[in-house]
Structure formats: structure tokens, C-alpha cells
Structure 1
Amino acid sequence: MKTLRRTFQSLSVRNFRLFVFGQLLSVTCTWMMVIAQDWLVLELSGNSGTALGTVTAMQFTPVLLLTLYGGRLADRYDKRRILILANLTLGVLALALGLWVVLGTVQLWHIWLFALALGTVNSVEAPTRISFVSEMVGSELLPNASAMSAAYFNVARVVGPAVAGLLIARLDVGPVVLINALSYLATVVSVVLMRPAELHRPTARPRKARVVDGLRYIGRRPDLVLPMALVGVLGLVGFNFQLTLPLLAKTEFHTDSTAFGLLSSSLAAGSLLAAFATTARRGRPTALVVAGSALAFGALEAVTGLAPTLPVACLLLALTGFAMMYFAQASNHRIQLGSDPQYRGRVMALYTLIFQGSTPLGAVLTGWLSEHWGVRWVLYGGGLISLTAAATALVTGPRFTRPATPEDSPEPSARPVNSPAS
């Protein structure tokens, strides 16, 4: 019982509890839409990996260009208001795409336009949401809250694709997209119902919150460089399952949308177990933990490329998902818990930029390689490169473990405002 209480400790905070419930519904429906969108692209393009890669690249290109500015906005303005506006905008975008599909007039360029607009809003929403977690729960509960965030995300990633596969088969793509459009209201309502007085906000926000100051701050922190670098490599060559799984289902196992959902859910199930495993973390993980989990991910992804049957692929994807999420959480916690609160929005913006911004390049490369070499070679190559990067990090890691010093934070550290217990 005591272990159970520790696992869900951050949910005792009312504001975070509201946030999790709203996000669980919204993210589940978002994963439903991801499956629906990818399936629609394959149908419209004749199973083209390049077309699927182009859509993914369009969605994540704004992350490359705008996420650092999004982190600046998160440090400068009220994160709560930014999240409300961002989610309302995302809902309107999903509604427009859903209507195009239902009316039967959707074309590939419509999906490209939607992906580009979605990425633009996400470039502001993502760093704001990630850095807002610490304001809801405070530094002490941040590792647990971050793990719980990963848990709801992966519950959604288990349920969403499985439900989407069934709904697409029965209702087609359009209704699934429209359901997602409505789901953004869940996040909006949960954020509106929060008690601002109970947030752990900095006593003062920087007046300028310049992007360059955030980059200089990170440059003075070698202990943040290693996880950032590994996130970049694995994000570029390893975390391309949004493309590889539908291609694996269609071109290797010759199955339908239900099996595609099953592959996605298997990856997410392993990720969910890893998220719950990291709820016990109470402090900042070491560089060895970050690099070791990256090593395990690379090895498992490479082996997944050898899977001879769908059931074996599902099993290997579950193990790969566990290693992937364990690495993602370890790197996230090492970066967030080592960052000054006044810089956290910009630090996590760079983390988001590296984590998601490498996706456009990876998507185009994955699409091209899958068409010319086959999707299995994408998994082999991504796994082996990730493995090499992690092994290099294990060798060079001791150079990147210097703890923070007062000189690393030229501006005074922001302390949380004491708030009543929820």
C-alpha cells in the first residue's frame, strides 16, 4: 500500500490531478487521429513511404524553427493561458481536417497543410506543457509527476491505436478525426479549473527571456550536453516508429489497420511499464543510467528488424518500448532536475527541439530507405547507430557529469511560491 501511494504521489496535488485526467482523454484521441491520419496517407498515396515521411516532416519542421521561441514564451508569459489557447487552436485544426475527410474532398495537400499548422502550434504547446509540470507539483515531486505524465501518455498510446484500428474499420477515418477535435476541450477544461494560487510559480519572470541566454546557460552546463546529444541521435535514427510501424504492418506482414494498431499498442505497452517503473525515482539520474538505457534501446530496435512474424514483432516492440521510455525519462529527468527554474522553459524547449525537431530529417530518410531497402533495414540501421552512440557516451560520459555551480546561473534562481496543500 505504501509503495502504491509513492507511485501515485503526485496525483495528490489537485492541479496536477486535473491535468492528468484531461490529458489522458485528449492524448488518447490524439493517438487515434495519428493512426487515422497515417492510414489515410497510405490509402491516398498507394502505400508510399515517401508520402508518409513527407507528412511527418511537415508536422515536425516547425519544431525545428519555432520551439526555442516557444520556450521563450513559456518563460516570459503565463503557461496556463498559453496551454488554453494552444489546445483551442489544435481543436479547430482537427475539426477542419475531419470535415474535409467526412465530406470526401480530402487530398494529400490538405493533410500536409494540417500537419504544418499542427506542428506550428505544438512548437509552443510542447515546451510550455513540459515545463508547466514543475509549476503544478514543485521540484520535489517533479520526477514522480514526469513519470506519471509518461504513464498517461503511454496508456493513451496503448488504448488509442487499438481503438482507432477498430473505428477506422467500422466508421472510416473522418469520424475518428472529429472525435479528436472534441477531445481538446478536456485539456482546456482541466486547465481552466486549476487553482492559480496553488501553482509553484517563479517569484519573478525574466523581462526579456532571450533565447540566446538559454543557449549560453546550457553551454555552461556540460552535464546537460550528454543527454541532449543522445536524445538527438536516437530521435533522428531510432524514434521513427510513426513511419516504420504502418509500413511494417502493410508491406512486411500484409495486414490491416487492426494489426497496425496492435503493433503500436505493443510498443506503447512496454513504454507504459517503463513509465510506472520510473515513478519510484526520487532524484536526478546519473549519466550512466541515461547512456545504459540508450544502449539497451539500440540493441532491441536492431533485433526487432529481424522479427519473422507479427506476434514476435509485438513482443520485441514491447521490450523496445520499455527501453525507449526508460531512456526518455532518464534524459528528461537529468535535464529538468539540473536546470534553474528561470531557464527551464528554454532548456526544455531545446530538449523538445532536439527530441522532436530531428524527426523531419529522420522521417524523410526513413521514408526513402524503406522504399529502396525495405522497412527492416530502417530498424537495423537505426538500432545499430543508436547502439554506437550509446557506447560512445558510456566511454566519454565521465567528462559530462560536472554538477551545476552558482556561476552557471547568472540570474538569481527562482524559488517556488509557497502554496497551500491541495
Structure 2
Amino acid sequence: MSNGKRGPLLVILFATLMAGAGNGISIVAFPWLVLQRTGSAFDASIVAMAGTIPLLVATLLAGAAVDYLGRKRVSMISDALSALSVATVPVLALTLGVEAINVAVLACLAALGAFFDPAGMTARETMLPEAATRAGWTLDHANSVYEAVFNLSYIVGPGVGGLLIATLGGINTMWVTAAAFGLSIIAIATLRLEGAGKPDRAALPQGMWAGIVEGLRFVWNTRVLRALAIVDLAATGLYMPMESVLFPKYFADRNEPAHLGWVLMALSVGGLLGALSYAAMSKFSRRRTVMLTAVLTLGVAMTIIAFLPPLPLILVLCAVIGFVYGPIAPIYNYVMQTTAPQHLRGRVVGVMGSLAYAAGPLGLVLAGPLADTAGLHATFLALALPMLLLGVIAVFLPALRDLDRGSAVEI
């Protein structure tokens, strides 16, 4: 499959689908295993936070690893280690008993899985420009389809995860997660693409830490990247607790695992349609307009969800959130890929990703105890109102006007 013009791009897309599906299953399975044992949103937030904190450092290291070790190699190693971390759950249950799968063990395994995942995602994303060129696609088109496939994986993953938990149980569901990562490894093993193999070490700093600093400096000195990183940092910190703690808590209290899967699927279906529409949307819409619409809509939708309306309305709102946010990742990808030189691409993607995760742990550690004490309604509202404020602030950020210029403007 990798010998044709579109072969490398199809391989990357398939690997993205499989690895993303594995992560999508984990999003449902890890919190469910915790809530099934303790019923505590605080415990669930601990495990969710354990799966988030490593991302800050891991994504920085992942970008450097991609530039220094090679994209194909890093993708395969990352998926292998991620598969190992999730397969450990059922292995421990078989060897030591179900009682061995406690909150501390789940937190450690979630942290290990999170530490390895960013490297694979970064490696695949940084191969897109060469794969798009080989296929004869524009970069906007390739990023649009890539993000659509990524969202599709989070339709397949949580949906399958919810159904598997209901039929096989949370522990055995982890076998499917490991298998998905395995299929990603097999696909990337067949890949033949310029720039995917061993990098040119002559273009890189001598030390990895010096290379990371170079990536940080590039992002900070490029004002459009700096503005995007700050907005993404705030939005991630406010949104992540809703998906990782509040929705699982709400549906666990009602003993409705399948409904949790439906909500996460609605987010991803909307994201899939939004990402797919971006290829056409980019021809007549400004990137800045698309981004501001997404942030403002997210704030409004989260405010309505805070009142815990009936499930059909929640599903519609989640689909709307996904749709308006679907084009955001392709826009981010385009800006990173067109501003960063080839030898620096992995580190720029890594820096941007790590900054996006930086606020996640704070949001999670606050949301869990607040949900246990003040209730879900108050916690949803405490996240939604700052999101509305973020949208208003973004309107007045001059750096975001650079999204619609031919190239990034540095200061």
C-alpha cells in the first residue's frame, strides 16, 4: 500500500485511526474502573490527572525525540510502550487478582500510557507535509482529513469502549486497546517516505535539551504561535475536566456507561464533520473567524450543559462543540507546519502540545473535589463562565490576525 502516491498518507491515516481508537477506549475505561470501585469523582480526577501531568514533559521530549531519532521509529516505539501500559491492567488481574487493580495502580498505568502517547502522535503529524506532497494534496486538505480521521478514532474508541465495558467489563476492554496500538505499529512498519527515517544530525544541536530550548525559543518568538499556545492552554484546562471527570461522574452515578460513550461519540462525530468541512471552509473563511467562533460557541454550550439538561440536548450540544472545534486542529497544524523549518518541526509540535496540556492537571485537580462537594451543576458552571470570558479576550488578540497572513510574523 505504501508504494503508490497516496500510499504513505493512507498508512499514516490508518495508524492514526488505530492509535486514536486505543486512546479513545482508554478515556472511557480508566475512569470507569475507578468509579466502579470507589464512586468518587476525586479518585477519578486523580487517575485523569495522572494521565495528563506526564503530557507536559512527555510532549516536549516527544518533539525532540522525533527530530533526533526519526519519525517512523518513534511512532512504532511509542505505540509499543502504550500497548504495554494498557495490557498490564488485564495481566495484573489474571496474575494477582482483580483486587490488585486499585486507584494507585490505575493512576500509574494511566501516567505511563500518557507519557508514551505524545511521541507517536507527534511523529505521525510531522510526516504529513511530505506525505501530502507525495499524494498531490494541499496541506490544508491533508490536515483536514488527518484530523477527521483522528476524530473518527474517538468515535470508534469511546463507542466501542462503552459497549465493551457493558459486555466484557472494564478490565478485559484493555485487551482491545492494546490490539489497536499493535495494528498502528504494523501499519507504520510498512511506511516508506522521505524524512521519515534517520534525521540529518548535522542540522540539530548537539544536546537534546539544547534542541528543546531551541524549539521553545522559536515558539515564543513567533507571536501567532505564542498566542495560539496561550489560548489552547486556557481552553484545555477548562474543557478537559468536563470530558475526563464530570461526564464520567454524571453517567457513573446513573449507571449508564453506554450513554457516556454516546456523549463522547457525539463530540467526535461533530469533530469529524467539522474537520472534514475545513478543506472546503478554508477557501472562503478566515482562520481567525473560525477559531473565534469555536471558542465562543464552546463557552455557550458548556454553560447550557451546566444545567444538566436531558440526554438528547446534551448530545446535540456536544455535537455542536465538536463541529466548531473540528477545524481548529487543522489550523494549528497548518500554522506549525508552515512556520517551522523541517529540522525543527517535531520540537515545535512538541512545544505547542506540551503548553496545551499544562493547564490540564490544575483543572482536573480542582474539578474533582468541587464536583464531590458543590455538585456537578456548580462545577460545570465554574468551567463554562471562564470559557466565555476566554472567547471575548481572544477577539481582541492582535496576534491572531496573523492566522490569515501568508506566513507567520515574528517579533
Give the TM-score band, short-chain normalised: 0.7 to 0.9
Q: 1:289 and 1:320, CA in 2 relative to 1: closer, same or farther beyond 3 A?
A: closer
Identical positions, percent: 20
Give the stretch that moved more between structures: 366-375 or 184-193: 366-375
Determine the structure 2 residue equivalent to 1:170: 167
Shift in Å, 1:197 = 4.6
User: Does the CA-based 8 Å contact 2:219-2:351 persist in structure 1?
Assistant: no
The answer to whether the 8 A contact 1:226-1:287 is kept is no
Over 3 Å counting, the alpha-carbon distance change for 1:269 and 1:12 in structure 2 is farther
1:65 to partner: Cα distance: 2.5
Pairing 1:99–2:96 present:
no
The answer as to whether partners of 1:231 and 1:331 remain within 8 angstroms in 2 is: no
The C-alpha deviation readout for 1:202-252, integer Å capped at 9, x for no partner, is 87642436112222222221122221111011011123312221122234x
**What corresponds to 2:259 in structure 1?**
259
Aligned to 1:87, the other structure's residue is in SS state helix
CA deviations 1:14-55 (Å, max 9, x no partner) are: 11101222332332233223212211110122x211111111
Q: How far apart, in 2, do the equivalents of 1:263 and 1:287 lie?
A: 28
1:22 corresponds to which residue?
15
Q: Mapping of 1:139-154 within 5 angstroms? A: 141-154=138-151
- Do the aligned residues in 1 keep the contact of 2:228 with 2:400 (CA within 8 Å)? no
Answer yes or no: is the 8 Å Cα contact 2:215–2:347 preserved in 1: yes
CA change 1:66–1:237 in 2 (3 A) is same
- Measure how far apart 1:12 and its partner are: 5.9
- Relative to structure 2, which stretch is displaced further, 123-132 or 165-174? 123-132
In the alignment, does 2:106 pair up with 1:111?
yes
Separation of aligned partners in 1, 2:399 and 2:21: 40
Match of 1:38 among 31, 34, 46: 31
SS in 1 for 2:230: helix
Structure 2 residues not aligned, in runs of 5+: none
Q: Distance in 2 between matches of 1:304 and 1:363?
A: 18
Q: Which residue of 2 aligns with 1:401?
A: 402
- Specify the SS of the correspondent of 1:195: coil
- 1:132 matched to 2:127: yes
**Separation in structure 2 between the aligned mates of residue 212 and residue 225 of structure 1, nearest angstrom:** 15
Distance in 2, matches of 1:69 and 1:298, equals 32
Q: Could you tell me which of 243, 258, 282 is aligned with 2:245?
A: 243
Q: Which moved more, 1:122-131 or 1:217-226?
A: 122-131
Q: TM-score, normalised by structure 2?
A: 0.87
CA–CA separation in structure 1 for the residues paired with 2:160 and 2:368: 26
> What is the Cα-based RMSD across aligned positions, in Å?
2.8
| Pairs within 5 Å for 1:178-193 | 178-193=175-190
The 1:115–1:285 alpha-carbon spacing in structure 2 relative to 1, beyond 3 Å, is farther
Matches within 5 A, 1:198-209: 205-208=203-206
TM-score by length of 1: 0.85
Q: Where does structure 1 lack aligned partners over 5 or more consecutive residues? A: 1-10, 410-422
Question: Is the CA contact (8 Å cut-off) linking 1:72 and 1:345 kept in structure 2?
Answer: yes
**What is the CA–CA distance in structure 2 between the aligned matches of 1:398 and 1:113, rounded to whole Å?**
39
Change (3 A) 1:327 1:295: farther
How much has 1:365 moved relative to structure 2?
A: 1.5
Q: In the alignment, what sits opposite 1:326?
A: 327
Q: Give CA deviations for 1:140-163 in whole Å, capped at 9, x if unaligned.
A: 633222222221222222222222
Q: Using the alignment, how far apart are the partners of 2:130 and 2:362 within structure 1?
A: 33
Greater Cα offset, 133-142 or 209-218? 133-142
The equivalent residue for 1:88 is: 80
Asked if 1:51 corresponds to 2:43, the answer is: yes
Is contact 2:30–2:47 with CA below 8 Å preserved after alignment? no
Aligned equivalents of 1:404, 1:234: Cα separation in 2: 26
* Contact 1:249 1:255 (8 Å CA) reproduced: yes
- What letter matches 2:28 in structure 1? I
CA contact (8 A) 1:158 1:268 kept: yes
Please report how far the alpha carbon of residue 384 of structure 1 lies from its aligned counterpart in structure 2 after TM superposition.
1.9
C-alpha contact (below 8 Å) 1:226/1:397 kept by paired residues = no
Check whether the contact 2:68–2:199 (CA below 8 A) recurs between aligned residues: no
In 2, the alpha carbon distance for the partners of 1:198 and 1:215 equals: 22
Further displaced range: 263-272 or 102-111: 102-111
Cα distance in 2 for partners of 1:248, 1:164 equals 17
| Matched residue count | 396
2 CA distance for matches of 1:25 and 1:59?
Answer: 19
3-state SS of 1:196 partner: coil
| Deviations, residues 336-378 of structure 1 (Å, cap 9, x unaligned) | 3333333221111111112233222221112122112222333
Q: Among 147, 153, 157, which residue is 1:156 paired with? A: 153
Does the aligned pair in 2 maintain the 1:166–1:258 contact within 8 Å? Answer: yes
Q: Is the 8 A contact 1:338 1:404 kept in 2?
A: no
Structure 1 residues 228-377: aligned runs within 5 Å: 228-240=229-241, 241-251=243-253, 254-280=254-280, 286-377=287-378
The match for 1:5 is none
Structure 1 moving runs of 4+ over 4 Å:
197-204, 281-285, 402-409
